[in-house]
Structure 1
Amino acid sequence: MPVTILIVDDHGAIRRGVRAILETRDGFEVVAEAATGAEAIALAARHRPGVAVIDYSLPVMNGSQLTRRIREASPGTEVLVFTMHESEALVRDVLGAGARGYLLKSDADQQLIAAVDALSRHQPYFTGRVSEALLAHYLTHPGHASELDVLTAREREVVQLIAEGRSSKQVGETLAISVKTVETHRASAMHKLGLSTTAALVRYAVRNKLVEP
């Protein structure tokens, strides 16, 4: 049976490039592409791909949030996070969300096929530039909290949307929650992070790669 693959990236050129690389390998079949998290979840539920290759920096829903949602929609799908960011916080975040692979976009030509092949066999794969020390630290200190770990998944969603410039009403509409609930999550996040202004919250979101600067 072929290894079925879902590609998720909000840039069409990146999706085409990833598809072109993967389709050079016999036995790999790209069954769907998505530009947004919502599309990706629906396509994962429909196609049940063996591997989902997802960009971390998606609008509205970042990579760790999407990883959780894909794993809920299709528990048999392994997730490879495909990103330009080399960050300990992000690696820990996506591992905690259920991803089993982390690959830098700069390593795609050399390692993308190997990464998807490993995940298709339910084996983890990490880009060569993610140090062994980092992985060892995660495995030996799973309870150690980073800035991202402090917030709940819903709080991270609210923070990301606020940092993208959305009003509380728009955040509520996007997440299907009330404005009051949005404000509650926002206040809770700011309290946990020790922040007092929206500008500081935006800087936190940029620093932790929840949004692009």
Structure 2
Amino acid sequence: MTGHRVTIVLTDDHTLFRQGLRELLCTDPELDIVGEGCTGEEALALVRQHRPDVLLLDVEMPGPGAKAVIGEVRRGYPDTAIIILTMHDAPAIVRELLECGAAAYLVKTIAREELTAAVRSVSRTRDNVLLSVPRTTMESLERQQKQHTLLSERELEVLRLVATAMSNAQIASRLFISEGTVKRHLTNTYAKLGAVSRVDAIKKAIQAKLIDGLDR
């Protein structure tokens, strides 16, 4: 890595913030800003043009959303690491974008040293995911991960069918198990999710991203 300058594309629709970010990063001789954009389309065009080591991406910009941009960059330019830099710290957003392939998720309140360290880190390795979010967000992510780990594949399967409005009898017929077994799986699932009903279990499962897509 000696002599290597990390190339960066900055994308944020707030011009003043983006300019300040450029000035901040340019104080580091190892970092090289090769492009700036303020829309999802510009982010993708700049990545195609420069193939940077790192794309700094805001969550909310005009055009394709962060999820779509991450997906296209990961498919077409896997050597470009994506850092989400945003004010949004909702656990559901953090989890979704990390699962899409973001290498780091940072809130805009981080210190300069944390940001430059994150840029260097993701440009060198993809083995770790970097997070700089409030403690409450981290705790929520940990709870969601624990819920996902605790639910068995069969319990998830039953829950997905419950979310399609199937009755216990219909689920039993679909999975070739007894109605009593379906009820037992649901009882275990309620306990693990802290749910009190079918509707509550579905709601909590969607919030925890256990049954993706069923809330659309």
Tell me whether the two structures share a fold, i.e. TM-score over 0.5: yes
Report the equivalent of 2:46. 43
Change (3 A) 1:139 1:30: farther
**TM-score of the two chains, using structure 1 as the length reference:** 0.64
Consecutive unaligned residues of structure 2, counting only runs of 5 or more, are 150-155, 157-204
CA contact (8 A) 2:144 2:208 kept: no
Q: Assess, with a 3 A threshold, how the Cα gap between structure 1 residues 69 and 137 changes in structure 2: closer, same or farther.
A: farther
- CA distance 1:139–1:77, shift in 2 (3 Å): farther
Q: Say if 2:41 and 2:63, in contact at 8 Å, map to a contact too.
A: no
1:5-30: per-residue Cα shift (whole Å, max 9, x none)?
01111121121111111111121101
Q: What are the superposed Cα offsets for residues 95-138 of structure 1, whole Å, 9 maximum, x if unpaired?
A: 11100101101115352112111111224211152555345446
Against the structure 1 CA distance between its residues 69 and 128, is the aligned structure 2 distance closer, same or farther, given a 3 Å change threshold?
same
- The question of 1:28 aligning with 2:31 is answered yes
**Among candidates 146, 160, 169, match of residue 207 of structure 2:** 146
Whichever residue aligns with residue 65 of structure 2, its letter is N
What's the Cα RMSD here? 2.5
Give the whole-Å Cα distance in 2 for the aligned partners of 1:37 and 1:128.
23
Q: Deviations over 1:52-71 (max 9, x none)?
A: 10000112322222111222
> Which SS does the other structure have where 2:109 is aligned?
helix
Give distance in 1, aligned partners of 2:106 and 2:81.
14
Amino acid aligned to 2:31: F
8 A Cα contact 2:13 2:38, kept in partner: yes
Partner of 2:139: 133
Query: Quick check: 1:100 aligned with 2:103?
Result: yes
Structure with the larger RCO, 1 or 2 (CA within 8 Å, 6+ apart): 1
Q: Which whole-Å CA distance do the structure 1 matches of 2:108 and 2:140 have between them? A: 19
For structure 1, list consecutive stretches of 5 or more residues without a partner in the other structure.
Answer: 152-191, 195-213
Q: Does 1:66 align with 2:127?
A: no
Structure 2: distance between partners of 1:118 and 1:134? 25
Q: TM-score, normalising length from structure 2? A: 0.63
- Is 131-140 or 83-92 further displaced after alignment? 131-140
Q: Provide the rounded CA distance (Å) in 2 between the counterparts of 1:88 and 1:112.
A: 20
Q: Residues 104 and 131 of structure 2 are in contact (CA less than 8 Å); yes or no, is this contact kept in structure 1?
A: yes
Question: Is the radius of gyration larger for structure 1 or structure 2?
Answer: 2
Q: Percent identity?
A: 32
Q: State the alpha-carbon separation in 1 of the partners of residues 143 and 121 from structure 2.
A: 22
What residue number does 2:166 align with? none
Larger deviation: 8-17 or 132-141?
132-141
The corresponding residue for 1:54 is 57
What residue identity is the alignment partner of 1:124? V
CA–CA separation in structure 2 for the residues paired with 1:115 and 1:126: 9
Per the alignment, in what secondary structure is the counterpart of residue 110 of structure 2? helix
